[in-house]
Each structure stands twice: as structure tokens, then as C-alpha cells.
Structure 1
Amino acid sequence: MLELKKDGIFINGEKTLLISGAFHYFRTLPEMWEDRLKKIAACGFNTVETYVPWNLHEKQEGKFDFKGILDLEKFVQLAEEVGLYVILRPTPYICSEWENGGLPPWLFKYEGIHLRTMDPVYIEKINRYYDTILPKMEKYLITKGGPIIAMQIENEYGSYGNDKNYLEFLERAMTSRGINVPLFTSDGPTDNMLSGGTLPHIWKTINYGSRTEEAFEVLEKYQKDLPKMVMEFWIGWFDHWGHEHITREPESVVEEFEVMLKNDISVNFYMFHGGTNFGFMAGANYDGKHKADVTSYDYDALLTEAGDITKKYEMIKELLKKYEKKVKKHKNHKFYEIENSKKKNYGTVQFTERTELFKNIKNLGKKYISSTVKTMEDLDQDYGFILYETNILGNYINKKLTLEEVRDRAMIYLDGKYLGVIDRNNNQEIFLTIEGKGKLSILVENLGRINYGPKMKDKKGITDHVRLENQILFNWEITTIPLNNLEKLSFLNLEKIDENNPSFYRGTFIVKEIGDTFIDFEKWSKGVVYINGFNIGRYWENGPQKRLYLPKELLKIGENEIIIFELHKFGHYLNLFEESKLG
């Protein structure tokens, strides 16, 4: 078992540092898990850490999913077989640049719900979730002979709130369900964060990227008699669409890590392997403007998005050899022989078939009639797009259109003619002229719910009303378009090309030898890519990411299908390259 003492961490009576790598199973296909876990072990680490995303495991309320990429038990079992201990973070909120911070968007359909506090509805939903997931994990605790050595009760709570009753509830929710390994919190190393986010008797860990001595001077005021641990050592960073690609020099990571090793500080590298925000699961930040995260979660980690070894990896591995005696390994641990995956250049994919979104609405979504606009959450929609349409009677000459509020990006059409974009950040001005009758269509894209901070209750679609000047428009047809199943689309040979008419384009390419590849979207504007029916994620000409990672596990020998849902500009073809291009 794991014991926390003033002079250190002990596993089965033996003193050790925890040298852990963050690796999220839900950001990497299950066929890759063993490879990534072996690379963590081969680097000299003894532990793997992962979050658990509530919004994937309970995507629809009351319906739980633990299959495929969500097979958490398989992941934990593999970690043990490879020879790694497991730190599990099954908290309701995970942040992690993940859509809505891991909270299911269906929570928002409960009017007036308050998140991350003792709101009775919120607490009821957590109890049901924990009744399902914690019994699955209980048998893998180290106290039962398994690899799970510690669990988190809340994540960076001091950056959000200060409800100690809520933290105590989460502690009881775990212990009453048989969780008897050390529990912990993790917060930034500031007084306000540690004051709000911790409990006196719970192990306090901290998250940061540099200035180790300063960070632990602050923690020392709140915890003196338990071992020191950095639960998130930020060795890189994440990217937002429209902003620069961020990296961190390996030398600065190694220098900071050695300070921790010399001072007997345990550490979890965030991230060891970042992976990919597949589908619509990338989150967003808010600092006065909504900043959507890119599809890649490479994070400039020790392994690339494709799982390849980096200079940072090699330098950390070499440093750990000096301190090997401080890091006791799991009985199954080995220094595995590892290698990078094979990469392939599959050349150019031509697109010869097309079908328009607006001609396929019945095949893609569900229509509702409402006197007022409704959000996605009001209509039990989680991700994708939502279409609002209304007929306006009368004469309106050059009247300003206002969406109050749009979340996140709306394409505006009048009688089928594209007029422009209104997004939540820039709120561009569009004026309508209607003489007698006009049909207004508004296609809204969810770019990712905010995953951090006080603006997290981030409903999607149009959240209040639409108006011309001061006149609110009523009587809407609303169609939810989650884009989770494209099987009913009927493609035609590509003949005409018109911009700003959202459309699906279909192409195929032949694979003779399977390998990882990267989809270059240089000629395209904005949209989503599907490979053999699997949603790879979003692309956007705004950058910085210029290519999407396509894992070999999604390919097959022979013909492979690629469907592009493009909002603005047909790019004619795509290239599949051997190299990534993140910025």
C-alpha cells in the first residue's frame, strides 16, 4: 500500500519518489495504449497518471459507456502489466483543455444549476456517476493488490471556488464507496488557491511550470507533515486557434526537474504524452474573449502527438539515471525496447463528390418548432452545429441584426444568400433589408465549451434572442446538427463550386502499407474531417495547427474514405504527409 509520511512516500514499506507521466487514455486510441505506457516505463518512470472524463463516460444522462477508447479498466490493467503504478483523477471536473472541463453539457438543461458546489441537482448527478465508476476502480486499488495508489477529490478547485462542504462531500463520496488509498487535491501555488481548494487533512499537491522553491515556500504554510509532490509539472503548453504555437525548451524542463529530484519532490509530468482532442472534444479558455483549443494536444510533451520520442524525452531519461535509486519500480517494470511509429506519405486525395448541408438537414438532425430560440442544451444536443430559421414579414430597410448572445460562431443567410459571420468575440455588424418577406437562416457552430474559470457555464447556440434593431424575432424552426453520423448523406458528382455554402466533400485513397500520416488542410478554410466514419476533429485556416494527425489504427489496407465538412471554401484536394505541422 501507499503511505504518506513526513519523511516521504512509502509503497509497501519502501521509500520512493513518484515519477509519473500524464497520459490520458481518452485522447489516444486503445491500440496505442501499450506502446505509450511502455515508453513511460522505458524513460525510468514508475507511475502513470490520467484524468477520467465524465462527459464521455456519461455522454447521455443515465447511459454509461466504458467500451473502446473509454475502457478504463483495460487501461489500468495494461498499466499494471507494463509495470506502472496509477494515479487516478476521476473528479467530476478535470479542466485539461477538455470540452466543458469534463462536465457533461446535459447538466445545463437543469435550469439554475450551480456547478462545483453543494447544488442538490449537481450532487445527485455526481452520486449516480460515482455509483457507476468507483466500484469499477475499487478492485484495482493497491490495498486490493492493484496498481492504483492515489485518487484526486477535486481539480484546481481553488482557481474556481471555496466551498469546503463540497470538498468534504467529494471526500465522503469516495471513501463511502470503498476508496481507501490516499486522496489529494491539486492547486496552483498561491495563497488564495490553496486557501480555497484544499482541506486540512487531505494531501495537498501543487501545479506549476517553474520556480520550484517559491512554489513550495507557499505550500509550506498549508502543509508541513506530508510529502511534497507536483501533480502537474507543465513541461509544455496547449494552443488556441488564431494564436501562436507554444513550445518549451528541453533544457529548462531538465533544470527544473533536477531541482525537484535533489529536494526529494515527487512529480507528475504534464504531459508525458498529450494525444489528440478527437471529434468536438477540444475545450476553450476565456480571458475577455473565447479562445478555442486546437485539435492537437501535442503539448510539446516528452512524446509527440504521434507517440514519437523527443529530445526532451532523451534528456529526462538520462537525468533520471543519476537518481535511479530514489525511484522504486513496480514489480512488473522493465526498461522496454521502444521505437517510433512508421510514417507514410499517401500523396494527394482528390474530391469528386459533394453534398450540401442545407439539402441534408433531414438526414442529419432533428427539427423543433419554438416561439423563441433555444440553446443546444435545451434541445439535448451536446456538440456540433445548430440551425435557426424564421420567416420575417414586412419591410425592414438596412436594419442591424443582433444575436444575443451567439456561442460561438454564426453564418448568416437571407433567402439563401450568405451575408457573413457573427461570432461571440468580434460581434461583426450585419444589416438586413427585407421587402415583404424574407427567410433568415443562422447556422451556429459550437467551438468548444469553456473548461476553466468563472465563465464555465457556457451554453451553446443562441442563448437569449435574435433581433432586428430593437425588435425581437419570434417563431423559429430549430434543427440540431450534431454531426455524429454521416451514413445517410447522399453524395453526387461534383459539378459546381460555390463558396460559403457548407458542404460535405468525399474522396478516397488507397493504402498498401499502413502507417501514421498527417492531413494537410492548407487549401481549405474551416471544418471537420472524418476518416472511415471517425471524426478526427476540427481544422481552421487561422492556425497555428496546419495538419491533423491521422493514426494508422484508423486506416485499412485498400480503399479508405475521407469526408470533409467545409464551411466556406472548397480546397479541391488534400495531401497526406509524413510530418506534422503544429505551427
Structure 2
Amino acid sequence: MSDFAIGESDFLLDGEPFRILSGALHYFRVHPQSWADRIEKARLMGLNTIETYVPWNAHSPVRGVFDTAGMLDLGSFLRQVAEAGMYAIVRPGPYICAEWDNGGLPAWLFAEPGVGVRRYDKKFLVAVEEYLQQVLRIVRPLQVDQGGPVLLVQVENEYGAFGDDPEYLKFLVEVTRQAGITVPLVTVDQPNDAMLAAGGLDGVLRTGSFGSRSAERLRTLRAHQTSGPLMCMEFWDGWFDHWGGPHHTTSVAEAAAELDALLATGASVNVYMFHGGTNFGLTSGANDKGVYRPTVTSYDYDAPLDEAGNPTPKYDAFREVISRYAEVPPATVRPAAPAPAFEVPLGEPIRLLANPGRWGDWSDHETAPSLDELAARLALFRTEIDVDGPVALSVTEVRDRALVFLNGDPVGVLDREQHDQTIFLPRGRGRLELVVEDQGRVNYGPRIGEPKGLIGPIRLGPEALSDWSVCAIDLDAVPGLWDSADTADPGVGPTAWRASFSAAEATDHFLRTDAWGKGLAWINGFCLGRYWRRGPQQTLFVPGPIIRAGSNELVVLELNAVSDPTARFVPGPSLGPLEL
């Protein structure tokens, strides 16, 4: 057991000054069988600490559940950090941002209109306390003063960019302490006077988030944190990507120089990200500052370790900088061999519109429900229309994308990013179907928690449409469609395909997707995430632990159309152009 405390100007470990050299590594973005590898590579770069967020919505997809299986086993992750001889920082939010769906806040929080999230609202606080007690029950015995690795626990996350409610922050501190957390607590905000004032709390160490101009930013931080150690809790060494944009990178030399300038001040640091990993499944978030921009599946972040956990030039550059300020272990990280390259045909298509009942459960509604009410991320909406045509179909807002079909024929797309509200139907009679997709919840700003789906009323000409039948698609069940279905001609509309391939060993693969349209892919039942031909991302990372030596199954759900039904596995990642 060790004592960790905040001194007048330093962190103190057993009474001696201690500089935190940390790297962000999110356990929920990395396969559990790869955690030890990534942690060891952090140690070899010269880091002594691993930082992670905790995603509330992943652990608690429904209220009353707290899942810690597989990729959500926070306790196992922290124990592996300790086994590597490293320390840990835990940032449980409840809000985390992190380019993660809804900033980590569960969608069920917003089921009751008017609930006041991220403020002193009793209904919200009850839910937050339930969550924090579950998380901190795991963290409590793993604190450094109890023989574990955890040095610090963070309260909220960049709160000064959102609100100004000290009673809410005090409540979080009280719940955290009552749960048995005895290590120092911290807040983090951008080094802006207003944000540091609104997001901080006396008695809780303030830290900053920035990626440049360290001396200037630390002076601003010091004005609000007059004593105690200075720390950059998020040293931004890269950036994330959104669909339709470029792949973001930062100069290796400039990032290394900024890290050097930060460490030269004597401050502690958490490199965000050390290893970004992947937004597997449907976990990627979105931003909306007037235009909705969903985040891609890869969270490579141009970090020192790439999406597959391999060192980049930034790894060696950062290691050299760190060696000027701390002892660095001998480097033994070897470059990875190219991944297997081969191709296999996609076959046995199953078409959604041909028999939706295979894909999920039907329900009837007078007016179109939200996706939240259906507890679905993808749904088929169906009604009959009978008016003189052509005619305009309109909605108040689409969140986030709707494919429109009339009598089984494609009519077009309503796209939130384009601010689409209206589409003309060539005829006014027949079966109207809309396949509605949630492309990721906004993770930053005032639009967090907004409902998904068709925000109504939905009108045909001037009249509101009613009498909807809705099939909520069970995406988890898509890989099993062939267990109880005959294959059919793919026709038009969303179609599931599958293929088998052999692997000599369980090793990382990269699936090339830019010849397809838009959709999701699974291997052996594990959802790799979204793909979209618009890019920038052109490959999906396949973690080695999900590959079986021998036969493997790939399933693809294509929402648009596959012009070339071939699955191509390539030697390495392709994350897209740096400029558009």
C-alpha cells in the first residue's frame, strides 16, 4: 500500500514528489485479450500511469443493469495495469464526451421529458448515484492506498464547457467520497477563465485539457489552482474523424515539441490518446454545431499506438522526449507483420423488405414512435397511402437517415446532415416504407440526449400520416438470420450477406469496405462497427482475438447496395485522405 497526496507544488507518493506520466487507454475500445499488450507498450514508452474513462451507457444499457463482462470488465483492466507495475486514473463522468455515443449518458435517462441532466436535478441525481456506486464499488479496493493502482478519480468532465452548477459538482464529490474513494479527486477543463471557474470546485484539484501553448495554458490554470501540482489531463496529440471529412493527423515533430514544452514546466501529463482503439458496434458518437457530423468507427486518433496497437513514428518521438525527464525502459516493441490478404465472395443474401418479421418484432402505432420508444437503432416504418400523386412526404427532422421506398421501389434518402425534410413521391398510392437509422448520438453540447428517429409530424402533402406498423430491427440477431431463413434474391433495400473464410491463426485482420455502400459488419458474431463508402475510413479493424484458427464467418448488413459482393481483407489499415 502507498500513500498518494497533493502537496504544495507536487503530487506526493509516499511523501516523495511524483510526476504522473500517463496515457489514455479506454478498456471499452480494446479487446480484453489485447489489454496487457497495450499497457506494456505504454510502460515501454516511458509512461507510469494509464487513464481511462468509464462509459455509463455501455455498462447500463437499461436501468438496473450494470454489465462488467468482456470488454466492460473495468476491474480486470485495472488489475492488469497494476500487474504491469503501473498506476491508473479513473474518469467515470457521469458524462465523458470521448466521441462516444451520447457522451456516455444512457438514452433511458431522457425517457422522461424535462429531466435535467448534468445539473442538480433530483431525478438525474438518483440515477447518477446508482451508477457511481456501481463503478466505485469496483474502484474502491483498487486504490493505491489499498494496494491497487488508482491514484486519482475525476469528477464530471469539462463541466465548465457545459454548465455552472456547483451544487451538482458538490453532490458528485459527496457521492464519490461516501462510496469509499479516498485518493485525491480532480476536475478537468479547457484553460479558459470562464470554464475553469464554472467547472472547478474548491478542495478538488483543477487540471487542464489542451495540446499546445503549454506555458500560457498552465499560467491560466495556476490562476485558478493557486497551489498543488499542475497537470494537463488531456494532452491532445491527434484528433478524431467524422464521416465525409478528412483523416486527421498532427505533425510528429510538432506534437513531440509540444510534449517537451509541457514536461519542461514540471507539470504532469495524460497523453490523449496513447492508444485510441475502435468504436466497435454502434458506440461512435456525433457532433452537431449546426451540421450533424457522425464520428467514424476507427478511433485511431493519430496516437502513438495506432488502431491495431502498433507503434507509430509518434511513439518513438514521444519516448525520446520522455527520456529527457524520466527513466525509460529499453525499447523492445517490434513492428507488426502485415495482416493476411485475401478475398472471398459474399453470398446467400437476405433482403429486409422481403420479410421484415425475420429481422425483428412488429408493433402498431397511431403516430410514428421514436427509435428510443422502440429501443432500436434501426427500424422499418410502414403505412399505406392513397392520395393523388405525385406528392411531397415531409418530416420536421430526420435523426439521422431514412431510406424511402414506395411499393418496394427506392424513392430516395432523407439525410439529417443535409437538413433534408421533404422528398417527392412519384405516386400517392401504395405501401410506403422508411428504413430509419440512428447514426450515433451527439456527444457534446446542448443536443445530447435528443430522441432519435422521425421527429414529426410526418406529413403527406398537408395531411399527417397515421396507422404505422413498425419493425424494430434486432441488429444483434442479424448474424443468425440464416438459421431460420431461406436466402432470397437481394432485390433492393437493406440486405444481409455472409461469407466464410479460413485463418491459419488468431491474428489481426483488416476488412476493406470502400467497394460497398453503407452498413455494418460482423465476424463470428462480433460487430466490427459501421462502414460508409463516403469515407474517410476505408478499412474496419478486426482484432485477432475474435478470429478462430480454421473457419470464420463474416456477415455484412448493407443498407444501400453492394455493387461488388466480394469481401477483401488487406495487409493494413486505410483511414483515408488527409485532405478533401
Q: Same fold (TM over 0.5)?
A: yes
Are 2:574 and 1:581 aligned? yes
SS in 1 for 2:389: strand
The code of the aligned residue for 2:546 comes to L
Q: Distance in 2 between matches of 1:71 and 1:53?
A: 12
Shift of 1:446: 0.6
Match of residue 120 from structure 1? 122
| In structure 1, C-alpha distance between the alignment counterparts of 2:94 and 2:268, rounded to whole Å | 25
Decide which of 468, 477, 489 is 1:485's aligned counterpart.
477
SS for the counterpart of 2:318 is: helix
Amino acid at match of 1:23: L
Q: Secondary structure at the match of 2:79?
A: helix
* Matched residue SS, 1:575: strand
Return the TM-score normalized by structure 2.
0.95
Counterpart residue type for residue 139 of structure 1: P
Aligned match of 2:363: 368
The verdict on how the C-alpha distance between 1:191 and 1:470 changes in structure 2, with shifts beyond 3 A counting, is: farther
Q: Distance in 2 between matches of 1:473 and 1:215?
A: 55
Q: How does 1:92-491 map to 2 (within 5 A)?
A: 92-324=94-326, 337-381=332-376, 384-393=377-386, 395-428=387-420, 429-434=422-427, 437-490=429-482
Aligned partners of 1:154 and 1:400: how far apart in 2?
46
**One-letter amino acid of the structure 2 residue matched with residue 318 of structure 1:** E
Q: Distance in 1 between matches of 2:147 and 2:33?
A: 26
1:521-532 maps to which residues of 2 (within 5 A)?
521-532=513-524
Deviations 1:349-393 (A, max 9, x none): 111211011234223222221111111212333xx3022111123
Unaligned runs of 5+ in 1: 328-333
* Distance (Å, rounded) in 1 between the aligned partners of 2:456 and 2:176: 39
The code of the aligned residue for 2:10 comes to G
Deviates more, 1:107-116 or 1:65-74: 107-116
Q: Quick one: which amino acid aligns to residue 381 of structure 2?
A: Y
Letter aligned with residue 78 of structure 2: V
SS where residue 445 of structure 2 aligns? coil
The correspondence for 2:545, drawn from 540, 553, 568, is: 553
Report the Cα distance in structure 2 between the residues aligned to 1:357 and 1:120, rounded to whole angstroms.
Answer: 43
What per-residue deviation string (whole Å, max 9, x for no partner) do you get for residues 389-434 of structure 1? 11123x2322211122210000001111110000112244411254
TM-score w.r.t. length of structure 1: 0.95
Deviation at 1:475, TM superposition (A): 1.6
- Aligned counterpart, 1:63: 65
- Alpha-carbon separation, structure 1, partners of 2:335 and 2:127: 42
Given residue 100 of structure 2, which amino acid in structure 1 is its aligned partner? W
Shift of the alpha carbon at 1:47? Answer: 0.4
Pairing 1:512–2:507 present: no
Letter in structure 2 aligned against 1:64: F
> Using the alignment, how far apart are the partners of 1:311 and 1:296 within structure 2?
19
The answer to whether the 8 Å contact 1:38/1:336 transfers is: no
In the TM superposition, residue 496 of structure 1 has moved relative to its aligned partner by: 4.5
How many residues are treated as equivalent by the alignment? Answer: 571
Percent identity reads 38
Query: Counterpart of 1:445 in structure 2: which amino acid?
Result: E
Q: Does 1:501 align with 2:496?
A: no
* 1:346 Cα offset (Å): 3.5
The change in CA–CA distance for 1:167 and 1:427 in structure 2 (over 3 A counts) is: same
Structure 1 residues 20, 149: CA separation in 2 closer, same or farther (over 3 Å shift)? same
- Describe the SS at the equivalent of 1:37: helix
Contact 1:235 1:253 in 2 (8 A): yes
Partner residue of 1:26 out of 3, 28, 36: 28
> 1:283-318 CA distances to partner (integer Å, 9 max, x unpaired)?
001111110000000000010101001111111111
Moved more, 478-487 or 37-46: 478-487
* 8 Å Cα contact 1:307-1:340 kept in structure 2: no
The answer as to whether partners of 1:41 and 1:336 remain within 8 angstroms in 2 is no
CA RMSD for the aligned pairs? Answer: 1.7
Distance 1:250 1:348, change over 3 A: same
Q: Deviations over 1:425-462 (max 9, x none)?
A: 22444112545x42211111110000011111221111
Structure 1 SS opposite 2:123: helix
Write out per-residue CA displacement over residues 295-348 of structure 1, whole angstroms, 9 at most, x where no aligned residue: 0000000101010011111111112222116x9xxxxxx657433444422400
Give the counterpart letter for 1:290 in structure 2. Y
Cα separation, 2, equivalents of 1:25 and 1:340: 23
CA distance in 1 between counterparts of 2:192 and 2:254 reads 22
1:184-236 deviation per Cα after TM superposition (whole angstroms, max 9, x unaligned): 11111112211221112210001011111221222222111111000000000
Q: Distance in 1 between matches of 2:264 and 2:508?
A: 39
Task: Quote the Cα distance in structure 1 between the aligned partners of 2:231 and 2:120.
Answer: 29
Shift of 1:51: 0.3
- Mapped contact 1:346–1:511 kept (Cα < 8 A): no
Deviation at 1:515, TM superposition (A): 2.1
Q: Does the 8 Å CA contact 2:56/2:105 hold for their aligned counterparts?
A: yes
Asked if 1 retains the 8 angstrom alpha-carbon contact of 2:393 and 2:423, the reply is yes
Structure 1 counterpart of 2:189, one-letter code = D
Q: Please list every run of 5 or more consecutive structure 2 residues that lacks an aligned counterpart in the other structure.
A: none
C-alpha distance 322-525 of structure 1, shift in aligned 2 (>3 A): same
In structure 2, how many angstroms separate the alpha carbons of the residues matched to 1:119 and 1:470?
40
Q: Could you say if the C-alpha distance between residues 276 and 303 of structure 1 is closer, same or farther in structure 2, counting changes exceeding 3 Å? A: same
Whether the 8 Å contact between 1:307 and 1:341 is mirrored in structure 2 is no
Q: Relative to structure 2, which stretch is displaced further, 96-105 or 483-492?
A: 483-492
